[in-house]
Amino acid sequence: MKLYDISLSGNCYKVRLFLSLLDKEYETIPVNTAAGDTRTAMFLKLNPRGQVPVLEDHDLVIWDSTAILMYLARRYGNESWLPRDAIELAMVGQWLAVAQNEILYGIARARAMLLFKRAGDLQEYQTIGTGILEVMEQHLENRDWLALKHPTIADIACYPYVLLAPDAGITLEHYPAIQAWIDRIKTLPDYKDML
Ligand SMILES: N[C@@H](CCC(=O)N[C@@H](CS)C(=O)NCC(=O)O)C(=O)O
What's the pLDDT score for residue 40? Answer: 98
CA distance 61 to 48: 12
Question: Which residues 6+ apart lie within 8 Å of 97 measured at CB?
Answer: none
Helix axes 176-186, 122-140, angle to 10 degrees: 80
pLDDT-based confidence at residue 49 (cuts at 50, 70, 90): very high
Compute the average pLDDT of residues 22-47.
Answer: 97
Q: What is the pLDDT of residue 154?
A: 99
In ligand 1, the atom with minimum distance to the C-alpha of 10 is 10
Mean pLDDT of 153-171: 98
Whole-number pLDDT of residue 81: 98
Q: Ligand 1 pocket by C-beta < 6 Å: which residues? A: 6, 9, 11, 33, 38, 50-53, 64-66, 100
pLDDT confidence of residue 20: 98
Q: Whose CA is nearest to atom 12 of ligand 1?
A: 51
Domain residues of the chain, as ranges? 2-77, 80-186
Tell me the CA–centroid distance for residue 141 and ligand 1, in Å. Answer: 31
Distance 95 CA to ligand 1 centre (A): 19
- What is the structure's pLDDT at 136? 98
Nearest CA to ligand 1 atom 18: 64
Contact indicator for 114, 84 with CB cutoff of 8 Å? no
Tell me the mean pLDDT in the region 121-133.
Answer: 98
Nearest-CA residue for atom 16 of ligand 1: 51
The pLDDT tens digits of the residues spanning 74-121 come to 999 999 999 999 999 999 999 999 999 999 999 999 999 999 999 999
Q: What pLDDT was estimated at residue 48?
A: 98
User: For position 153, what pLDDT does the model report?
Assistant: 98
pLDDT of residue 59: 96
- pLDDT at residue 92, as a whole number: 98
What is the model's pLDDT at position 140? 98
pLDDT (average), residues 135-159: 98
Distance 149 CA to ligand 1 centre (A): 30
Q: Tell me what pLDDT residue 55 has.
A: 98
Alpha-carbon span 74 to 88, nearest angstrom: 15
- Which atom belonging to ligand 1 lies closest to the Cα atom of 14? 19
Second-level CATH architecture of 80-186: Up-down Bundle (1.20)
**Hey, which of 52, 71, 167 would you mutate to test ligand 1's pocket, going by the most ligand atoms within 8 Å of its Cβ?**
52
What is the whole-number distance in angstroms between the Cα of residue 47 and the centre of ligand 1?
Answer: 10
CATH superfamily placement of domain 2-77 = Glutaredoxin (3.40.30.10)
Average pLDDT score over the chain: 98
